[in-house]
Amino acid sequence: MEQVAEWSLTCVDAGSEYCPCYLAVSGECFVCSLLRGREFCTCSWSGTCSYLHYLWSRGNITIRREVEVKVMREELGSNLVRLLLTLPATWIRELSNPGAFLFLRPADMPPAAAVPVSVFEIREEGAEVVLYVDGPKTRLLALASATSCLIAKGPCYNGVQGLAALKRTNGGKAVLVAGGVGQSATVLVARQLLRGGNRVQACLAPGRAGFNYAAESLQALGVEVKEVKSLRREGLPLVSKWLQEKPSVVFSAGPDTLHREVANLVAKTGAGIELAVSQNAVLCCGEGLCGSCITVTAEGRRVPRCKAQFRVERR
C-alpha cells in the first residue's frame, strides 16, 4: 500500500466545486496530463474532465472555507473527547459521505494549529467528531473546545482510500475492522454500505481509545458488532473466519500496521475481495500544496494523498 499504480489514480475533488485547484494552476494536476503540459490526454476517465473545468473557470479557484463553529463537548474517557459542531447546512450534506473530515483549530490560533479530524457521525444539529488528545495540537484544541468556539475548514473528503469499492458494493456482505480512534471512520462507511443493501459485520478493539465508542452507533444502524480486547490476538483470527464467507469488501480502520495485516488476510483468502482503508497520511493543508502527505507512484511520480484516490492493493 506504500506505492500507487498510476492507472488507478483519481482525484477526490474532480468534478466538484473545488476543481480546478492550485495544482492545476501550477501544472501539477496528477490526473490530467494536459494540465501537466503534455500534448495528449492520458487520463483514466473518472466521469469528469479536469482540463475543461480549468478552461471554464478562467483562473478562478474555489478554496475551502473557514467558519467559526459552536461546540458541545463531552468527555468520553481519559484523553478522549466527543465534539458536536454546529455547521452550515450545506456542509452537513457533504460531510455525510464516508471519508469526510474537517480541519479544526482554536479560534485564537494560527492555521498551522489545525488538526484533521474524521467526521464520526452526522446529526440534525451538526457533525460529531471524536478527538484523542496526544500532542500539542490536539491538547490545544481540546482545551479551546471547553471554553470557546473553534474554526473549521472544509469540507474535505479523502479520509478513506478505496471509496469506489465501498460505493459500488451492493447486495453483498461487508466486513469492518477497527481499532482505537480508527473507529471514527466506521459509522459513515457503514451507512454507505447499508444504503447499498449489504450485510455488515464489524470487529472493534478499544486500542488507545480505551473502549469501543463506535459500537453503540453501529449497532443502532443494524451492523453486527463483535467487540474484542485485542485485534492482534482475537480480532484478526475472527476476521479470518469471516473472510471464508467471501465478503465483497473489507474496510480496515486504524494504523498502517493493521491495514497490512488485514491486506495479508484478504490476499490469502484469494476470493477477489476488495479492500478499503482509513487514511493515515500526515495531512496539513488538504489542498495538495504543502507536501506533507506526498506518496510516490510505482512510476516515480509524486502525488498528494489528501486528494488522490487509488486502488488499495492486496498483499
pLDDT value at position 315? 54
* Mean pLDDT score across all residues of the chain: 92
For range 192-210, the mean pLDDT: 97
Q: Place 124 in a pLDDT band, splitting at 50, 70 and 90.
A: confident
State the Cα–Cα distance between residues 140 and 243, nearest whole angstrom.
42
Domains of the chain (ranges; CATH) run 65-156 (2.40.30.10), 160-278 (3.40.50.720)
Q: Give the span between the Cα atoms of 307 and 287, in whole angstroms.
A: 7
What is the pTM for the complete model shown?
0.93
Lowest mean pLDDT among 34-48, 178-192, 211-225, 293-307: 34-48
Note the pLDDT of residue 2. Answer: 52
**What pLDDT is stored for residue 313 in this prediction?**
67
